[in-house]
Amino acid sequence: MLQRLNKYISTCGVCSRRDADDLIKSGRISVNKDTIVEPGFSLDPDKDSVFYDGEKINVAKKVYYLLNKPKGYVTTTEDEKKRKIVTSLVPPLPKVFPVGRLDVNTTGLLLMTNDGDLTQLLLHPTHGYDRIYVAVLSEPLDEGRKKLLEKGVVLERKFSKFKYIKFVSKNKRIVQVCAKEGRNHFVKKMFALLGLFVVELHREQLGPFTLGDIPPGKYKKIPEPKIKEYINSIEKD
**Burial (CB count <10 Å: 0-12, 13-18, 19+), residue 152:** exposed
Is 44 catalytic? The answer is no
Q: Which of 103, 115, 130, 237 is catalytic?
A: 103
Which are the contacts of 177, defined by CB distance < 8 A and separation ≥ 6? Answer: 132, 133, 134, 135, 162, 164, 165, 166, 187
Which residues are the active-site residues? Answer: 103
